[in-house]
Amino acid sequence: MTHGSVSETFIGLDIPEEMNAMLPGIQYDVVDFVMRRWQASGGFGFVPTLPASVEDTYHAVGILETIRPVSEAEVSGIKRHPKLKDFLGRQEDKDAWSLKTAYQYLYLCGFCSFRPDTGWLTQFMEARSDGAPPLAHRYYLTRIGREFSRISPTDGGRLSTADENGDWKTAEDLFMLLYIHEGAARPLHAARDELIQWVQACQAPDGGFGGRPGTTSFIENTHWCLEALALLGSAPLFPERAQDFILRCRKRDGGFARKSGGAPFLYATWHAVAGLALLGPVVSTA
């Protein structure tokens, strides 16, 4: 991606130095939280006692990539270890996957240099490119087309210029549309400043962001809003409060919850570290 966005863009490994805003102690705790979920099967589990999944493995590896160089040894070890490739090679029923899972699988293949079955990929993508796919499908089709152009039959550019009414209801919807249209506001039938103001209005008194203005803050909504603002070339009105909200979601075991007081999970931790990277060193966390 060319707009400073971090989440789901780890193939290029353009991880910003701003992750140093996280205290090294926090980063080491995150590494421990993630590595406790690495299974003998080669993937990562939702919790240490559950079987590994593509989604959880994607989140785990994405977290470790984001907090490099603290996690350099773990990232290198996972890349070199054959069991991740074995895990990817054993995946079955891929034709029934969602586009999101397919994207995550392709990211993992790129991470460890495992070549996916191009025959399956071509058939899978062509079956999902016909007609007028819903927004989430268009988003992942576009991502795959742009980031895996050497192995994917999907034309990300064609999907970017497809007829689109620009309708969106949540911050996540807005982020997906901005990604599809490469940060342009015009296809969304709105002025850039109007979109920025709407996203900034999603920030709640606790510092986090809701999916819409006036709604409850959660870590994932905070991340999507920060992504949308980055694509628009802007930032939160109160970045210190946003950073504080994310850090208050941190738990003693090193992971992050959706909200302060909740349970920590890989997906929430992934949203947290990506959000902190987007915020950069706005304040000292010492």
Encode pLDDT of 163-186 as tens digits: 455 678 999 999 999 999 999 998
Pick from 226, 222, 125, 134: nearest CA to 180: 134
Span 138-162, average pLDDT: 69
CATH of domain 10-279: 1.50.10.20
Look at residue 153 in the predicted model and tell me its pLDDT. 53
Span 39-43, average pLDDT: 95
Q: What is the largest CA-CA distance in the chain?
A: 52
Domain spans of the chain?
Answer: 10-279
Distance CA 151, CA 154 (A): 9
Mode of pairing for the β-strands spanning 264-265 and 256-257: antiparallel
- Tokens representing 26 are 């926090």
Pick from 192, 246, 183: nearest CA to 220: 246
Q: What is the pLDDT of residues 209-265, one digit of tens each?
A: 999 999 999 999 999 999 999 999 999 999 999 999 999 999 999 999 999 999 999
**Between 150 and 262, whose confidence is greater?**
262
Q: What is the DSSP string of 32-54?
A: HHHHTTB-TTSSEESSTTSPEEH
Q: What is the pLDDT of residues 74-123, one digit of tens each?
A: 999 999 999 999 999 999 999 999 999 999 999 999 999 999 988 888 88
150 HSE (CA, 13 A, CB side): 4
Residue 33 contacts residue 264 (beta carbons within 8 Å): yes
Pick from 242, 273, 251: nearest CA to 61: 273
Look at residue 148 in the predicted model and tell me its pLDDT. 84
Element (H, E) at 257: strand 256-257
Contacts 24+ apart (CB under 8 A), 44-47: 44/266, 46/265, 46/266, 47/265
Span 8-19, average pLDDT: 37
Query: What are the percentages of helix, strand and coil residues in the chain, rounded to 5?
Result: 55, 5, 40
